[in-house]
Chain A
């Protein structure tokens, strides 16, 4: 890895560039009360050219890019990353617009045999493109900012979830979305849960297990808080089953959708909160666990590549995927032996999200499922689902997104299963959208298996009371 991957902190926060000639300006500066202190470099100041040193142009990244495969207009990660960076001079900011077509699936990262920091290059270039080239008033900018900051809208929607769900589902709303904002009308907006995970957690009175030696800080992310609290609850139940004390620290969006939309400043703010809160939890003896593969990816890889808040590295080094952590620290397969799930779970078509693949976790789910009686999980292959977060929501990407997803849809169709399984919320939307299957999260299956009686847990039905769920948990 080259030095380029370290963000540059110029260490001269408040100093004015001295180009305008000698000292004269300095005096004025002292009087400037509201001189904003720029502690970290702007995205466009990050010099990743040295990262191009590792590229020997083999094009493996291009052949692994799902967007390049279906879209001839997309020049591919090699151009987008090392080539484009190498052609830059310090003052050149004209990033090619094609960077907005990259879905940030990060497959190129794992494909590259030479550790070129591709997604770091894409993320930074995208931010620069947005900063320099995209008009702040354009509908595209507003739409992207809205999609990227979905978390800000979500709390509103979940205050009135039923209304929100109805309104979002209305064809008029969708039509408006497409016409005014460029959000495709082909997709169903995700439903908002009537009770968010955090609400449930507070009502429940927090952790049911206290254990100084086994603590985790749960990074639930936005989606399992607002839309699929059943996944978050499953995590709590499963971890409590293994005797962990679960902490749920303050948190912001992981930043994944913001990176993908080039909103690096928004991502920076979110990341700052997360790093601060998670570092505090680590200080308290916890490891950080995420249930969403993009959230763990973001904290582990993108944060250290793009930011250098104090403790960024520590947080990255102590963050785990929920299933991975149990496989390392517990005898998960042992615990699952002789367990079974009820009729609620059929055989499943499993799609490993790109962001799991990038973390080397694409094989774990099938192995874990194998240990459970009465359920077979079929891997539907290593293709990309094509939605990549907010990417597939954009009107202009919808078709590309569905083309990329085609292979996965076909494999799901061929697999002997009528339910889908994955760990990424947007992959799950795409799987459902393309096949009509119901899609589960691996933690939900684990919860059912370890609880002994999946039906009783009923975490998915939403309107269940805390008491019911908690009791069920305590019985496992």
Chain B
């Protein structure tokens, strides 16, 4: 039977995108479907830490070793998505010396470069560290932008012939007896790039092999074919600070616990996180006390965060999994390793494997292992090259570092744009058109926004994750409408309006959890501006009642 595609990958997170790229580079015909934007699941809601492995150096040395290996690879192949910040495991007076020693030894056992710093030396690296931090272990942790890394994987997959469909939700698995041969998907707005308002369709895609990489949703997909995939989703909260109080990843040096890491992320710093099992990955409580607890606890390491401005908080769900019968009670104890469930071996149903668990940092190694498995099934013998071949944007970073062009932009804006785009910068930013700044907080110009629209259609959240536009301190108050304007004239007024609403709503979602102090002022100012200049508090054009134009006089 002829199939639409050789391999169908479900889920556009780091795992799915990584697999799609890996297979496409091996010459396999791949299609990836994702129900929302790329990274809409856990990948877009994680902490942004490129683990050195230090975190697992005591509890799980196999993971730790894998982390340091992958950490080194990603710094090479995805240098424009990774910031080599370095990390510190800091010890407070009440934290155990014994554990500090175990951590140091663990790092050394796993090949993680580790240096001990005195409290004073640590404060020299990070001036805002608490005065009573007594010692620290310096490790090569890094910061990673999951959005751009994931998008770069998808982009490269497409360059190698893959089809990537976003806003395409799997609504059924196609099963014939004991064989799964494809899926039925619902396109939110017709296949291809998203255009709001274009009518949705459904489509059946058949495939030789299906890879279920839907993370915390893998159980829901499995259920469509009566397969039991016992994912235990566990939520964690993260709070985004307005500025970077630290430029190094700060970890608390004690056995894994809640609220023990601060990651500098682009222009911000992210506090995290917690670990609490939830029943439904799409519907769980987001509570203020979680945010408060995190700020209070992390203020023990970096006191300035207590009073500092937060711009939003968000929650993510880990796709934790453990083999049936393990029976771990506390989700923190569940392994962070990943599992490849071959449903043929496990359930006697051929044509599909599910992937659950794992970490972002090791997505590439996971993808390699899974792709090997799939290739064996398909009888393809090509080898994996993802550890050597850089991602789009990082192909030629040395050139970029030698002579960073400013493309006529003010220097901090040129710097940030170059850092985001890597060696695509020249392609994107060299333009004869005027290139004004669209998002002032993050320094994003029109050319970069246009480039993102080229990639993703009328979806402004997709533009956001590619560029960071609207992710700064005004949370879109000053730039959402500028971004929307960039959709015109490619898209009509109605589409632009809807895209704007969708983006602004998404921004508001996270900002709700930061409504005190300065961010409250910001929200009020945003409201006043949008209400008074764009009628957005009560725009008759958005209402159901028709405007009675006859009531207006002729203006005479």
Contact = CB atoms under 8 A, between A and B. Distances in A.
A168 interface: no
A47 B248 CA distance: 14
A53 B521 contact: no
Contacts of A135: none
B120 interface: yes
B416 A57 contact: no
Nearest to A3: B304
A3 B304 CA distance: 7
A412 to B, nearest CB: 36
A15 B124 contact: yes
Interface string A379-421: 0000000000000000000000000000000000000000000
B441 A56 contact: no
Interface string B115-137: 10100110110011000000000
A150 B364 CA distance: 62
B115 A21 contact: yes
B243 A92 contact: no
Question: Which interface class (under 10, 10 to 19, 20 to 34, 35 or more) fits B?
Answer: 35 or more
A308 B529 CA distance: 40
Contact of A2 (B307, B410, B472): B307
B175 interface: no
B304 A50 contact: yes
A51 B201 CA distance: 50
Interface in A70-91: 75, 78-79, 83-91
A3 B440 CA distance: 24
B354 interface: no
Contact of A92 (B123, B412, B474): B412
Nearest to A78: B440
Given A50-B243, A53-B243, A86 B473 contact: yes
A54 B518 contact: yes
Given A3-B307, A53-B518, A15 B120 contact: yes
A114 B521 contact: yes
Contacts of B120: 11-12, 15
A8 interface: yes
Nearest to B440: A83
B472 A90 contact: no
Interface in A349-403: none
A18 B117 contact: yes
Nearest to B419: A89
Contacts of A55: 473
B242 interface: yes
Contacts of B442: 87
B121 A15 contact: yes
A52 B522 CA distance: 13
A83 B413 CA distance: 10
B473 A52 contact: yes
Contact of A57 (B128, B304, B413, B441): B441
Contacts of B304: 3, 50
A79 B244 contact: no
A79 B410 contact: yes
Contacts of A21: 115
Contact of A87 (B83, B412, B521): B412
B412 A84 contact: yes
A96 B124 contact: no
Interface string B306-323: 011100000000000000
B357 interface: no
B552 to A, nearest CB: 33
A89 B478 CA distance: 23
B443 interface: yes
Contact of A89 (B115, B245, B247): B247
Interface string A1-18: 011000010111001011
Contacts of A22: 115
A472 interface: no
Contacts of B522: 56-57
Nearest to A125: B412
Most buried by B among A18, A49, A91, A92: A18
Interface in B241-260: 242-245, 247
A29 interface: no
Contacts of B435: none
A95 B411 CA distance: 7
A10 B127 CA distance: 7
A75 B411 CA distance: 12
Interface string A79-123: 100011111111110111110000000000000001000000000
A251 B474 CA distance: 45
A176 interface: no
Interface in B522-542: 522, 525
Contacts of A172: none
Given A18-B117, A18-B121, A47-B127, A87 B245 contact: no
Given A79-B410, A94-B411, A56 B243 contact: no
Nearest to B517: A53
A90 B126 CA distance: 10
Interface in B84-126: 115, 117, 120-121, 123-124
Interface string B37-49: 0000000000000
A119 B127 CA distance: 22
Interface in B443-487: 443, 472-474, 477-478
B157 to A, nearest CB: 31
Given A3-B307, A15-B120, A89 B441 contact: no
B335 interface: no
B128 to A, nearest CB: 8
Contacts of A39: none
B410 A75 contact: yes
A2 B518 CA distance: 12
A54 to B, nearest CB: 6
B202 interface: no
A53 B474 contact: no
Interface string A152-183: 00000000000000000000000000000000
A207 interface: no
A117 to B, nearest CB: 13
B410 A53 contact: no
A455 interface: no
A42 to B, nearest CB: 13
Contact of B412 (A10, A54, A56, A96): A96
Given A8-B127, A15-B120, A94 B415 contact: yes
B267 interface: yes
Contact of B308 (A12, A53, A89): A53
Nearest to A22: B115
A53 B441 contact: no
Interface in A12-62: 12, 15, 17-18, 21-22, 47, 49-50, 52-58
A87 B443 contact: yes
A52 B124 contact: no
Contacts of A89: 83, 244, 247, 264
Given A15-B121, A22-B115, A57-B522, A86 B243 contact: yes
A90 B247 contact: yes
Interface in B374-415: 410-413, 415
A97 B412 CA distance: 10
Contact of A86 (B117, B308, B472, B521): B472
Interface of B: 83, 115, 117, 120-121, 123-124, 127-128, 242-245, 247, 264, 267, 304, 307-309, 410-413, 415-416, 440-443, 472-474, 477-478, 518, 521-522, 525
Give the 9 A-B residue pairs with the shortest CB-CB distance, closest first.
A90-B247, A53-B309, A87-B412, A49-B243, A56-B522, A94-B411, A96-B410, A96-B411, A8-B127
8 contacts: A17-B124, A54-B518, A56-B473, A87-B416, A88-B412, A90-B247, A94-B411, A114-B518
Given A47-B127, A52-B242, A89-B264, 9 more contacts: A15-B121, A49-B244, A49-B245, A52-B243, A56-B474, A78-B440, A79-B440, A89-B244, A92-B412
Interface of A: 2-3, 8, 10-12, 15, 17-18, 21-22, 47, 49-50, 52-58, 75, 78-79, 83-92, 94-98, 114
